[in-house]
Structure 1
Amino acid sequence: MEFRLVVLILLVLTMGVAAEYIRPPPRKMIHFPWKPKPSSYPQQVHISLAGDKHMRISWITSDKHAPSIVEYGTSPRNYSFKAQGESTSYSYLLYSSGLIHQTVIGPLEHGTLYFYRCGGKGTELQLKTPPSQFPVTFAVAGDLGQTGWTKSTLDHIDQCRYDVHLLPGDLSYADYIQHRWDTFGELVQPLASARPWMVTQGNHEKENVPLIIDSFRSYNSRWKMPYEESGSSSNLYYSFDVAGVHVIMLGSYTDYDQYSDQYSWLKSDLSMVDRERTPWLLALFHAPWYNSNEAHQGEGDDMMAAMEPLLHAASVDVIFAGHVHAYERSKRVYNGKVDHCGAVHITIGDGGNGEGLARKYLDPQPDWSVFREASFGHGEFKVLNSTHAFWSWHRNDDDEPVKSDEIWITSLLGSGCVAAKSHELRKILLEP
């Protein structure tokens, strides 16, 4: 009997070892061969939401006199509408950008396929507007970069039938080398021109040169988000609605204390949220507040001390962050402890960057941490109705997307927390 028990234990241990995931090696930066195009040819096209029923189309041309016009319609090569936008450019030491065009189109119908052309030239592109009601699906991946693993992540996201892509910071990893912003725009165009990409800044977007170049010059010029439409004074923080979801994009690298413009804007934004109309409330920023990886320990603590009480009182359902090059999902947590009315925190800074994975975790694993793994991948957040959503994380396993973590999440509205904390929220919102 004892012999059989020993054999059984050895068999279980052997199976466990055999099933352990062996991470593939890092991959190099993608090489982009130079392909000459006419100077007025639209390049690096990406789209983003721009208020109710409107979309912002962004692209770049080498021709500094190219028009910022977008023609669009609901059938191929039949453009019933035309919109005129604006353009800008920037210089960065010895680099000069092309002409950056920003054109808002609309009003658009929800859940509709549109065909469009930028600047009166170039290839006809297609975009799909998000639905007006549930279900709605978000693809989530941060810290992308431009490596072979980035390409795999993008390929896997392309297989997902998502409506909006959420990116919690660190886009191109240009790191002062400005032409890498151009290659990143080229890399993501197939996806970013077809579905809205909603991004916030990471530390790699700073690119400041003291006394010469302000922070975020390249990022703000190229990736304009709907900050004005949401009453914000900065492109580094804003909000938007999709179907029944209100999404708040916050800035980890701009002032966030209780006397800052960002904090004042956040209070104002939350005061206008109607949980009957948008039952789900999400937040994104770059530096995680709950992180059991050895990498970047404590870097989000100051922002957490300032803003977590407000987001908790507002009953934020899920908070996405990047920065740490690994994946981690928490239980509902607040003030460092498991709290059934707290937010689920998900760190997903594993899109494919060239700096590699953050492989070391703290031991023992905190009570609030449920699942953690240092692998590249992406997430999918499918909101089925006002009370239930399905989250899944898909590891890049030798170029195949493998679903490695999944969970059903009940909204805080559905669990009664929103009503229970309404008095707490009103008290904070009324504070000077």
Structure 2
Amino acid sequence: MALLIKLFLTVFILASATVIVTVTADDYVRPQPRKALHLPWDSKLSSYPQQVHISLSGDKHIRVSWITDDKSAPSVVEYGTSPGKYDSFAQGETTSYSYVLYSSGKIHHVLIGPLEHNSVYFYRCGRQGPEFQLKTPPAQLPITFAVAGDLGQTGWTKSTLSHIDRCNYDVHLLPGDLAYADYIQHRWDTFGRLVQPLASSRPWMVTQGNHEVESIPLLKDGFVSYNSRWKMPFEESGSSSNLYYSFEVAGVHVIMLGSYADYDEYSEQYSWLKEDLLKVDRKKTPWLVVLFHVPWYNSNTAHQGEGDDMMKAMEPLLYAASVDLVFAGHVHAYERSRRVYNRRVDPCGAVHITIGDGGNKEGLAAKYINPQPKWSEFREASFGHGELKIVNSTHAFWSWHRNDDDEPVKSDDIWITSLVSSGCISRKRNELADTLTTP
């Protein structure tokens, strides 16, 4: 009898080793929170470049940003296509800011280019320090975006960044809440050093979240730290504010909106959005993607209804322009909708994805409203990141990768067909004209 039991257990164990278990969002058990990271103080020379990151800035140009403690350090970038051989250089601008008892280093922003598409460049900041390497995005599709919001500086942040680093992406999209500095300014510096390995090699395109506001009534305006450190191509896109802008890359028009800038129909942001949407040429850029921080479609109990006012003002514009995808953060969980408009499933609406799960210090938002709304297709409270590969003018592949035991586990994926190929744009042509041109 004992021999039979032993034989049974052996067979059971061997059989179990070959079973593939499919885990759904309902039965997944989330790992425990991880502690905040504590990066050691940087003891390098005061003129040594730190917190290096790059962003897109117009056609064939890249903005290189970094900080030095030495106020006299030159704002120069040397670059070329071979290691250690710099046949081009560019000079840029500098800024700095003070915040209560804190004084920032010298913040450098230098525009380099024109650069060839889909090419590797080697560069050096301020004529000293290490050599960095960047890759420019392709000129045409396919292109891959990494997407992760609400990053912060925790053990889960480090895990998320490690997973993104394995993704063969061209551009990182971040829908708000970067450093979670929350008024403690040196946390901006530690965040800059934390993301430098990734942000110095691929363009990071960001928009602001609530943790970037940092305003002090009567003493300090909002977004001083964010605007000084993370300059985006707002001027190139005709915007008057670094809090909202647009850019085009490889057949995709991307609009970054500000959840914490005025957005009603009388605001500058609203007027700029209408003008920007009218300029979009869907033959040149068949995909239209929008990012902002506070989600409009959210079935989580956290931050419920906070995006309603912005949604009421701006969703008709996005619908009329046939926006394909909308990414948001703020809610510390993941959720993907069906195509939706005006809270109803609509084949001509946008797919809304909440991805505020990068690794923030506040933890996950684990409670959802039940029953699940019809527009909501997949939801899960876990840390992770997303990958959007736009293959051609009609098809894109979206996947969300949960952080699980330090391995990126793909938990949700879907093929998405563009609205350009659906007939929605031609059916809404008159509506587009009326909505976007009405004063």
Normalising by structure 2, we get a TM-score of 0.94
1:413 alignment partner, SS class:
helix
1:57 paired to 2:64: yes
Alignment-derived partner of residue 205 in structure 1:
212
2:170 is matched by which residue type in structure 1?
Answer: D
- Among candidates 173, 179, 202, match of residue 195 of structure 1: 202
Kept in 1, the 8 Å contact 2:357–2:364? The answer is yes
1:162 is matched by which residue type in structure 2?
Answer: Y
Kept in 1, the 8 Å contact 2:25–2:380? The answer is no
1:294 paired to 2:306: no
Structure 1 portions without partners, runs of 5+? 1-13
Return the offset for 1:16.
7.7
Alignment-derived partner of residue 230 in structure 2:
223
1:262 paired to 2:306: no
Kept in 1, the 8 Å contact 2:179–2:191? The answer is yes
CA distance in 1, matches of 2:42, 2:97: 23
- Among candidates 159, 164, 168, match of residue 157 of structure 1: 164
Alignment-derived partner of residue 6 in structure 1:
none
1:238 paired to 2:245: yes
2:269 is matched by which residue type in structure 1?
Answer: Q
Q: Pick closer, same or farther for the CA change 1:375–1:18 going to 2, 3 Å.
A: closer
1:286 is matched by which residue type in structure 2?
Answer: H
1:417 paired to 2:424: yes
Q: Pick closer, same or farther for the CA change 1:18–1:331 going to 2, 3 Å.
A: closer
2:165 alignment partner, SS class:
helix
Alignment-derived partner of residue 13 in structure 2:
none
> CA offsets per residue over residues 95-152 of structure 1, 9 Å max, x none?
0000000000000100000000000010000000000001000000000000000000
Q: Pick closer, same or farther for the CA change 1:73–1:345 going to 2, 3 Å.
A: same
- Among candidates 142, 149, 158, match of residue 142 of structure 1: 149
Return the offset for 1:226.
0.1
2:283 alignment partner, SS class:
coil
CA distance in 2, matches of 1:44, 1:144: 16
Q: Pick closer, same or farther for the CA change 1:16–1:307 going to 2, 3 Å.
A: closer
Return the offset for 1:189.
0.1
Normalising by structure 1, we get a TM-score of 0.96
CA distance in 1, matches of 2:428, 2:228: 39
Aligned length: 419
Identity of aligned residues (%): 77
Alignment-derived partner of residue 344 in structure 1:
351
Structure 2 portions without partners, runs of 5+? 1-20
CA distance in 2, matches of 1:387, 1:202: 31
Correspondences of 1:15-414 after superposition (within 5 Å) = 20-414=27-421
Q: Pick closer, same or farther for the CA change 1:427–1:44 going to 2, 3 Å.
A: same
Q: Pick closer, same or farther for the CA change 1:212–1:75 going to 2, 3 Å.
A: same
> CA offsets per residue over residues 333-377 of structure 1, 9 Å max, x none?
000000000000000000000000000000000000000000000
Return the offset for 1:15.
9.1
Return the offset for 1:418.
1.3
Deviates more, 1:167-176 or 1:22-31: 22-31
Kept in 1, the 8 Å contact 2:329–2:356? The answer is yes
4+ aligned runs moved over 4 Å, structure 1: 14-19
1:407 is matched by which residue type in structure 2?
Answer: I
Return the offset for 1:262.
0.2
CA distance in 1, matches of 2:408, 2:253: 28
Q: Pick closer, same or farther for the CA change 1:46–1:428 going to 2, 3 Å.
A: same
CA distance in 2, matches of 1:374, 1:320: 16
2:66 is matched by which residue type in structure 1?
Answer: W
2:269 alignment partner, SS class:
helix
